[in-house]
Amino acid sequence: MLLAVLLSGCAFNPAAEPPQPPLIDLAALLTRVAARAQADGLVGPEPAYRAALLADGMLSVALVVGTDDLGRVQVPATVDQRSCVVPAAVDGRQVRLAGRLVLSRAAFSRALAECELLFVTSHSRYGAGPVFLEDGKAQPYRMQRSPGYEIVMPTDQVSGYAGTVVRRFVDPATRRDYTVFAADSTDLDAQQPLPGCQVLVLSTCSSRRHFADEIAAFRRGLPTVAICTRRPCLMDPQMRVFMRCVYAVLTGEPPAGIAAGLDREYNAVAWQHVRRREPPWRVIDTLYTVCLDTAGDDRMP
């Protein structure tokens, strides 16, 4: 098995803008991806990560949704409506896509241990860890291990986070109050990794800077593709970037091609919001980057 985290490529046509926040219908999203992947087929020779992920005929997919200040969505009311199994066929290979929505810290921990492809669209909470729709900003998945790292939050953005306070200060230039918290990796320290290959896409604010080292240490010795973001980004409520991610895995994009495709998809979404004058959306060149790739045959640490 192989674990990959990524965001990818060409644009999925948007649905008409809904008057209400869109409902995340995971089965519909994955069905749409499966149909397009079947029509397009493999983009080239099958990469090692894809072969590992699909070896058992199943791809377990987690869509991890952050707080609604990044993008307003609706989720199915009952737990049984938040998972699905969708058949797919690419170049004659039959695959089942086992999808789940992840909306809490506890569910994210289970997904890290069980899912082969995780797509996280959330905050980084200034390096504390991603947060989740049901839990809110007070309860990040605590994964900051870097020695000497300080989690520096504007005090008006602490939002109930109960970390260990190191100090407080006022920026003399902006007169803004800040609270500095100690690094905390409580959740990651207790986390069991998926033993096989995994793809992780952290579409969270500046995740390369905050979490690249943490992911590398957590997945040491295990085949992994991790794709992070270089700068703050928002959540696409119609989940087109998520769909691009799953499509890229099914069609065998190499990791760098996945990241480039995610850039194109995100910017296609961002441009629509910019044209409607909806700040803080903006087009961001080279947002996604491969921060870990140990899934090749000769690249295991």
The predicted-structure confidence for 240-292, as pLDDT tens digits, reads as follows: 999 999 999 999 999 999 999 999 999 999 998 888 888 788 888 899 999 99
Q: What is the pLDDT of residue 298?
A: 42
Q: Note the pTM of the prediction, 2 decimals.
A: 0.91
Q: What percent of the chain has pLDDT over 90?
A: 80
Q: Where are the domains of the chain?
A: 3-143+188-293, 148-182
- CB neighbour list of residue 132: distance below 8 Å, 6 or more residues apart: 64, 65, 66, 67, 102, 103, 104, 105, 107, 108, 122, 139, 141
Average pLDDT estimate for 84-110: 96
Q: What is the pLDDT of residue 13?
A: 55
The predicted-structure confidence for 18-48, as pLDDT tens digits, reads as follows: 568 999 999 999 999 999 999 999 999 999 9
Average pLDDT estimate for 204-233: 95
Mean pLDDT score across all residues of the chain: 91
